[in-house]
């Protein structure tokens, strides 16, 4: 049975001599003719550190690490786990599921989630009308693109001498916004590079035609790119 600490102020007691300490050290336990492991086995793993010491240690560690584990200061910054380590992590997590797996979210929680979603959708969303840098991994001429196809289109336009701008104009579609990929300045048309045409995209295109009938938006899909000699692999 595990021994609970005897609290004298903020202390723990050595169960061999019943003397209170802030910390029952290994050296003190050794004075009783036993190792720390033997002491813990004998007395059922009693606490050897007071809450006061634990709190001080926590504050000291937090202060010493503050600001040192962020960005380039983190020793793992820019590094990835090896294949072996990833395999170990994957094996350890295999078969584990989240706490809500196979469970139904209560009706009250679903109502609350619905209300919260309604409060941040459309124009109420703080990101409404703003462009994020999400998934912009491809660089060309100092511009960050969202896909390799877009980079290839930009290079193609440069080769044929077409002046272009990337994500230049965002259109207000009332309950959402839309920003085409390219604006061809001299032609005054927009180009959307699209690998997969989704239902949501078709809805935005329908709203564009309704709200901005004079604005031309061309969809350059795989077939269109290949017809222009652009490699889509």
CATH at residue 223: 3.40.960.10
* Residue 157 in domain: yes
Q: Using alpha carbons only, how large is the chain's radius of gyration in Å?
A: 31
- Burial grade of 47 (CB within 10 A; 0-12, 13-18, 19 or more): middle
- Greatest mean pLDDT among 101-105, 130-134, 163-167 lies in 163-167
pLDDT digits (tens, 9 = 90+) for 4-63: 544 444 677 888 888 888 888 888 888 888 898 888 888 888 888 887 777 776 666 666
Task: Give the residue with greater pLDDT, 113 vs 225.
Answer: 225
136 vs 17, more confident: 17
Provide mean pLDDT across the span 157-169.
Answer: 94
Residue 147 falls inside a structural domain: yes
The neighbouring-strand residues paired with 138 are: 145
- On the question of pLDDT at 188 being above 90, the answer is yes
- Predicted pLDDT at 8: 43
Domain boundary among 77, 98, 128: 77
* 14 within domain boundaries: yes
Q: Identify whether residues 73 and 142 lie together within a single domain.
A: no
Domain that holds residue 214: 138-227
125 occurs within a structural domain:
no
Q: Which of 52, 77, 102 lies at the terminal end of a domain, its last residue? A: 77
- Final residue of a structural domain among 51, 77, 103: 77
Phi and psi at 12, nearest 5°, equal -120, 155
- Least confident window among 38-52, 123-137, 138-152: 123-137
The answer on 72 and 145 residing in a single domain is: no
Q: Is residue 11 part of a domain?
A: yes
pLDDT higher than threshold 80 for residue 118: no
Closest listed residue to residue 49, CA positions, set 7, 110, 92? 7
Structurally, how many domains does the chain consist of?
A: 2
The reported pLDDT for the residue numbered 5 is: 47
Q: Is residue 148 part of a domain?
A: yes
| Region label for 74, one of left (φ > 0), alpha (ψ between -120 and 50) or beta (otherwise) | beta
Q: pTM for this structure?
A: 0.46
Q: Is 201 within a domain?
A: yes
- 147 and 220 belong to one structural domain: yes
């Amino acid at each position: 049975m595990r021994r609970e600490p005897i609290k004298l102020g903020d202390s723990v007691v050595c169960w061999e001599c019943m003397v209170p300490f802030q910390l029952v050290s290994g050296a003190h336990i050794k004075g009783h003719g036993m190792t720390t492991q033997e002491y813990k086995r004998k007395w059922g793993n009693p606490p050897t550190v007071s809450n006061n010491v634990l709190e001080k240690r926590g504050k000291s560690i937090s202060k010493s690490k503050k600001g040192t584990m962020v960005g380039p200061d983190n020793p793992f910054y820019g590094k990835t786990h090896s294949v072996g380590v990833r395999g170990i992590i994957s094996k350890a997590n295999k078969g584990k599921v989240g706490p809500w797996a196979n469970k139904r979210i209560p009706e009250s929680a679903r109502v609350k989630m619905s209300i919260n979603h309604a409060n941040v959708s459309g124009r109420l969303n703080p990101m409404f009308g703003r462009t994020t840098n999400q998934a912009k991994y491809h660089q060309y001429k100092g511009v960050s693109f969202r896909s390799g196809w877009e980079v290839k289109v930009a290079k193609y336009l440069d080769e044929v001498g077409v002046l272009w701008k990337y994500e230049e104009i965002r259109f207000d579609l009332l309950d959402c916004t839309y920003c085409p990929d390219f604006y061809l300045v001299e032609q005054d048309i927009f180009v959307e590079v699209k690998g997969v045409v989704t239902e949501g995209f078709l809805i935005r295109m329908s709203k564009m035609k309704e709200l901005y009938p004079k604005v031309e938006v061309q969809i350059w899909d795989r077939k269109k790119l290949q017809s222009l000699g652009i490699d889509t692999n």
